[in-house]
Structure 1
Amino acid sequence: MGVEGTLADRKTKGFFEMPKETNTNSKSRKNRRRQKKMSPVQKLFDTCREVFASVGNGIVPPPQDIEKLRAVIDAIKLEDVGLKPEMPYFRTNAACRTPRITYQHVYECDKFSIGIFCLPPSGVIPLHNHPGMTVFSKLLFGTMHIKSYDWVADYPTGTPTIFKPPEIKRSEVRLAKVKVDADFTAPCNPSILYPADGGNMHRFTAVTACAFLDVLGPPYSDPDGRHCTYYINYPLSHFSVNGIAVPEEERKGYEWLRERENLKDIIVVGAEYKGPKIVVK
Structure 2
Amino acid sequence: MGRATLADIKEKDFGELVKETKTNTEDKNKVSNSNKNRNTTSDRRGKKSRRQHRKMMMPAAVVVSPVQRLFDTCKDVFALSGTGIVPTPDKIEQLRAVLDEIQPADVGLTPHMPFFSPPVIRQAPPITYLHIHECEKFSMGIFCLPPSGVLPLHNHPGMTVFSKLLFGTMHIKSYDWVVNVPSNASTAVDSSQTVQHPEVRLAKVKVDSDFTSPCNTSILYPADGGNMHCFTAVTACAVLDVLGPPYSDPEGRHCTYYYDYPFTKFSVDGATVPEEEKDKHAWLQEREKPEDLTVVGALYTGPEIVEN
Coarse TM-score class (shorter-chain normalised) = 0.7 to 0.9
- In the alignment, what sits opposite 2:286? 259
The residue correspondences of 1:211-250 to structure 2 (distance < 5 A) are 211-250=238-277
Match of residue 168, structure 1, among 181, 186, 196: 196
Greater RCO (Cα-Cα under 8 Å, separation 6 or more): 1
Displacement of 1:97 in angstroms is 1.7
SS in 1 for 2:91: helix
Contact persistence 2:183–2:200 (CA under 8 A): no
Residues 96 and 241 of structure 1: is their aligned pair in 2 closer, same or farther, counting only changes over 3 Å?
A: closer
Q: Is the aligned partner of 1:52 residue 2:98?
A: no
> 1:168 is aligned with what amino acid?
Q
The residue correspondences of 1:106-185 to structure 2 (distance < 5 A) are 106-156=132-182, 159-163=185-189, 164=191, 165-170=193-198, 172-185=199-212
Aligned counterparts of 1:267 and 1:187: Cα–Cα separation in 2 = 27
- Size of the aligned set, in residue pairs, is 253
> 2:253 is aligned with what amino acid?
R
Displacement of 1:134 in angstroms is 0.2
Unaligned runs of 5+ in 2: 1-49
> 2:131 is aligned with what amino acid?
H
Aligned counterparts of 1:157 and 1:270: Cα–Cα separation in 2 = 37
Aligned counterparts of 1:245 and 1:155: Cα–Cα separation in 2 = 9
- In the alignment, what sits opposite 2:303? 276
Q: Is the aligned partner of 1:201 residue 2:228?
A: yes
Aligned counterparts of 2:262 and 2:297: Cα–Cα separation in 1 = 34
Displacement of 1:279 in angstroms is 0.1
Aligned counterparts of 1:158 and 1:121: Cα–Cα separation in 2 = 38
Aligned counterparts of 1:187 and 1:226: Cα–Cα separation in 2 = 31
TM-score w.r.t. structure 1 length? Answer: 0.86
Displacement of 1:241 in angstroms is 1.5
Deviations 1:79-134 (A, max 9, x none): 10000011111101314622111000000000000000100000000000000000
Unaligned runs of 5+ in 1: 1-20
Displacement of 1:30 in angstroms is 5.7
Aligned counterparts of 2:111 and 2:88: Cα–Cα separation in 1 = 35
The residue correspondences of 1:19-98 to structure 2 (distance < 5 A) are 33-34=61-62, 37-95=63-121, 97-98=123-124
Contact persistence 2:183–2:268 (CA under 8 A): no
Residues 157 and 138 of structure 1: is their aligned pair in 2 closer, same or farther, counting only changes over 3 Å?
A: closer
> 2:257 is aligned with what amino acid?
Y
Aligned counterparts of 1:96 and 1:125: Cα–Cα separation in 2 = 17
Q: Which has the larger radius of gyration?
A: 2
- In the alignment, what sits opposite 1:10? none
> 1:169 is aligned with what amino acid?
H
SS in 1 for 2:93: helix
Deviations 1:220-257 (A, max 9, x none): 00000000000000000111122222111111100000
Aligned counterparts of 1:127 and 1:138: Cα–Cα separation in 2 = 18
- In the alignment, what sits opposite 1:17? none
Contact persistence 1:158–1:242 (CA under 8 A): no
Identity level (%): 64
Displacement of 1:262 in angstroms is 4.5
Deviations 1:162-207 (A, max 9, x none): 455334334x210000000000000000000000000000000000
Aligned counterparts of 2:210 and 2:121: Cα–Cα separation in 1 = 28
SS in 2 for 1:214: strand
